[in-house]
A and B are shown apart, each in its own frame.
Chain A
Amino acid sequence: MRHSARIAVGPVQFRIGSDWAGPVAALERLYAAYPQDDMRPADATVRLFAARPWRRWLRPSVHIGGDFIVPGALPLPLSMGLLAAEMGMNLQVALGWRRHLLLHASAVARDGRALIMSGESGSGKSTLAALLGEDDWRLMGDEFTLIDPAGGDAFAFPRAVSLKNEAIAEVAARVDPARLGPLLAGTPKGDIRHLIPRADAVAAMHAPARPALLLFPRFGGAAGIEPMGEGEAFVRLTEASTNYVALGEAGFAALTRMVRETPAFGITYPDSAAGIALVEELWAEAAR
């Protein structure tokens, strides 16, 4: 393809090809500080392409493809090419990765132990992880957490954090502007702005962390904590995994072990400060 980039996030080496220079340049800026190994073959391929040659210039719209495609997925305008690239990377991991049990969950770590937060979009799991990652936690990822089926450790997938809507201002107020990507206004997912994880989080991206606490956050309502049984946590995590079925017994073993060894809670919180207070409270107990 005309333009291409190679990016490694956690254990996944991507190769991204594009019909336009823009999305590749934007990606390269976000991932400039990530470790780079040009000789390493790619695990996953993303393609950003025009459906017809003239659509590279005329009302350019970006189709997302690669190893896996979602039939009928709508293209994005070229101004949102960075979002298309990011969606393409997520898609390839969600559908193609088999080495770990893939949880649609954010995670942060402290002292080699992981806090894993799983929830629908809008639950605030991304924002909480981003904010904790600016405190004395290591950001492991805002979207996917990888569980090693053999040992049960959590592995990081610290892609650039995708801040959405209100979270943008909340986080932007606390970080160096150089760590923020361009504002992508009015995307199908609302306003989006990427945050480059801290250098220490990127440097430690291959370090495993033992799952120590599982949270299922829900944004809105009074602050509250609800202990969750092993069975319910198991069901929710199978639903939050994109490759549980494909891993067979290895996935089953990893998840049963995780819900038995890791205390799990549902939490509700009215704002980020309250959410973080709940997290710290539960962590103090779990990490004891």
Chain B
Amino acid sequence: MSAVAAFVDLLAGRRDAATLGPRDWDGLIGVARSEAMLATLAHRLDGAAVPPAVAALFADQRAAAEVAQRQALWEAEMARRALAPVGIEFVLLKGAAYAAADMTCAAGRQIGDLDILVLGADIRRAENALLKAGWEWVKSDPYDDHYYRAHMHELPPMIHSGRDRMIDVHHTILPKTHRITPDALALVSDAVTSGGGFAVLQPTDMAVHCAAHMLADGDLQGGLRNLWDFHLMTRGFAAADPGFWRQLDGRAALHGLQDAVHRAARLSRDLYGAALPGGWDRQDPADIWFRRRLLARDDWGRVTQPLLEQAFYIRSHWLRMPPAMLAKHLWTKWQKQHS
């Protein structure tokens, strides 16, 4: 059996770690590392029967993820200290939000840049306040800067010089040029306060954003992790509120993201064994391409289907931009890579 299949089975709980042979672990750990999910797996298998060397590695990973999450949440705190005095409130997105709200999917989850959402009207002032508080622009490439400001859903990335951490300030959750325009005002105004004191998206919006980020915006890089987030959060939300799936449907429609959200739900069923209610539990022949892309890793953690990967890369840009603009963008990027 392939390592990536074993990995997904272990997460889903379809397979007992004790049934793995000693030589199965190399590939499994390799895949988990390339998906940035080794600490997630370490949490999932905490207490399971694994070889001593693996148990030690898992313990290291859990401890390191705990430190990394505190560091990530501190970035949120410092952003709050920079933005609160000028009266700007923000909503935490993605990994930092899951950690702030102490959600199941946060266990061991790697958190990269700090992603925050502010009202479009606040974006200039947010930029200024962050610059005054020690953040600076990462790159000064005029094409990239123009590209971000004209077409993207976020400011060009900024980095804090003292702490060496990046922040992405979003004003909506999909690029301006995307065929779909989510209701950004609703996202911010309906946000809820997490146990950690930070504002996070309300449950249905959080699931919509997770699916949008994975399927409508991205090229499925890190897809297994995003899908794992989606699976665990929807399962948790549905357990807390029996009406969750119905509300999610309505909210996805409001944002124009029903297709992405339904596909995320089907994929989480196919890969992680999610139980879906009627109306969600359907089949779509196109899903197979997504499953193949998600599972395209060999035992050395390498992407095994480069053409499929490339196709998803182009697809992600296709969704984000009108065709003429896409051609111009890919051409500019290509020239820069090859000059």
CB pair A67 B22 closer than 8 Å: no
- Among A1, A41, A246, A250, chain B packs the most CB atoms within 10 A around the CB of A41
The answer for the CA separation of A99 and B54 in the assembled complex, in Å, is 12
Within 8 A of B (CB), among A19-51: 39-43, 45, 47
Counting CB contacts under 8 A, is B53 at the interface?
yes
Asked whether B67 lies within 8 Å of A45 as measured between CB atoms, the reply is no
Residues of chain A within 8 A (CB-CB) of B30 are: 45, 67
List chain B positions with a Cβ less than 8 A from chain A: 22-23, 25-26, 29-30, 33-34, 51, 53-54, 56-57, 60-61, 63-64, 66-68, 70-71, 300-302
Q: Which residue from B26, B34, B66, B300 sits with its C-beta under 8 Å from A41?
A: B26
* Given A41-B53, A45-B29, A248-B66, 15 other A-B residues pairs in contact with their CB atoms under 8 A: A13-B53, A17-B300, A39-B23, A40-B22, A41-B22, A41-B25, A41-B51, A42-B25, A45-B26, A45-B301, A47-B302, A67-B34, A98-B61, A247-B67, A250-B63
Looking across the interface, which residue of chain A has its beta carbon closest to that of B21?
Answer: A39
Quick check: A45 and B33 within 8 Å, CB to CB?
yes
Range, interface on chain A: 10 to 19
Within 8 Å CB of B54, what residues of A? 41
Assuming the contacts A41-B53, A246-B67, A247-B67, asked whether A99 and B60 have C-beta atoms less than 8 A apart, the reply is: yes
Given contacts A41-B22, A47-B300, A67-B30, contact A246 B53 (CB under 8 A): no
Task: Provide the residues of chain A in CB contact with B61, threshold 8 Å.
Answer: 98
Q: Which residue of B lies closest to A13 (CB)?
A: B53
Report which A residues bind B (CB closer than 8 A).
1, 13, 15, 17, 39-43, 45, 47, 67, 98-99, 245-248, 250
Contacts of A47 in B (CB 8 A): 300, 302
Q: Which 7 A-B residue pairings sit nearest by Cβ, starting from the closest?
A: A41-B25, A248-B67, A98-B60, A39-B22, A98-B64, A67-B33, A99-B60
Rounded to whole Å, the gap between the CB of A165 and the closest CB of chain B is 33
Q: How far is the CA of A245 from the CA of B165 in the complex (A)?
A: 13
Alpha-carbon distance A19/B34, docked complex (angstroms): 19
Are B301 and A43 neighbours in the complex by a CB distance under 8 Å? no
Interface CB pairs A-B, < 8 A, 28: A1-B300, A15-B26, A17-B300, A39-B23, A40-B53, A41-B25, A41-B26, A41-B53, A41-B54, A42-B25, A43-B53, A43-B57, A45-B26, A45-B29, A45-B30, A45-B33, A45-B300, A47-B300, A67-B30, A67-B33, A67-B301, A98-B60, A98-B61, A98-B64, A99-B60, A246-B67, A246-B68, A248-B70
Contacts of A43 in B (CB 8 A): 53, 57
A-B Cβ contacts below 8 A, count: 52
What distance in Å separates the Cβ of A41 from its nearest Cβ neighbour in chain B? 4
List, in ascending order, chain A residues with CB within 8 A of B23's CB: 39, 41
Compute how far the CA of A247 lies from the CA of B67 in the bound complex, rounded to whole angstroms.
Answer: 7
Nearest Cβ in chain A — how far from B199, in angstroms?
27
Identify the closest chain A residue to B164 (Cβ). A245
Q: A40-B53, A41-B51 are in contact. Are A246 and B64 (CB under 8 A)?
A: yes
Find the residue from B30, B61, B66, B300 having the highest chain A CB count within 10 A: B300
A13 surroundings in chain B (CB, below 8 A): 53
CB distance from B165 to the nearest CB of A (A): 11
Min CB gap A97→B, angstroms: 8
| Max chain A C-beta neighbours (<10 A), residue from B29, B61, B71 | B29
**Chain B residues whose C-beta falls within 8 Å of the C-beta of A247 in the assembled complex:** 64, 67
User: CB-nearest residue of chain B relative to A247?
Assistant: B67
Give the shortest distance, in Å, between A209 (CB) and chain B (any CB): 21
Tell me how far the C-beta of B152 lies from the nearest C-beta in chain A, rounded to whole angstroms. Answer: 22
CB-defined contacts of A245 to chain B, threshold 8 Å: 71
User: Chain B residue with minimal CB distance to A249?
Assistant: B67
Chain A's closest residue to B50 (CB) is A41
Question: A13 CA to B57 CA in the complex, in Å?
Answer: 11
Closest to B60 in A: A98
A13 to B26, CA, bound (A): 11
Q: How far is the CA of A47 from the CA of B300 in the complex (A)?
A: 8
Collect the chain A residues with CB atoms within 8 Å of residue B63's CB.
98, 248, 250
Q: How far is the CA of A13 from the CA of B52 in the complex (A)?
A: 13
Q: Which residues of A contact B56 (CB under 8 A)?
A: 99
Q: Which residues of A contact B29 (CB under 8 A)?
A: 41-42, 45
C-alpha spacing A17/B299, complex, angstroms? 11
> What separation, in Å, do the CA atoms of A67 and B34 have in the docked complex?
7
B64 to chain A, nearest CB (A): 4
Q: How far is the CB of B74 from chain A (nearest CB, A)?
A: 11
Smallest CB gap from A39: residue in B: B22
Most buried by A among B23, B26, B56: B26
A250 to B60, CA, bound (A): 12
Min CB distance A227 to B, Å, is 31
B289 → chain A, closest Cβ, in Å? 24
- B62 to chain A minimum Cβ distance, whole angstroms, is 10
| Cα separation A218 to B34 with both chains bound (whole Å) | 40
Instruction: Give the complex CA separation of A62 and B28 in angstroms.
Output: 25
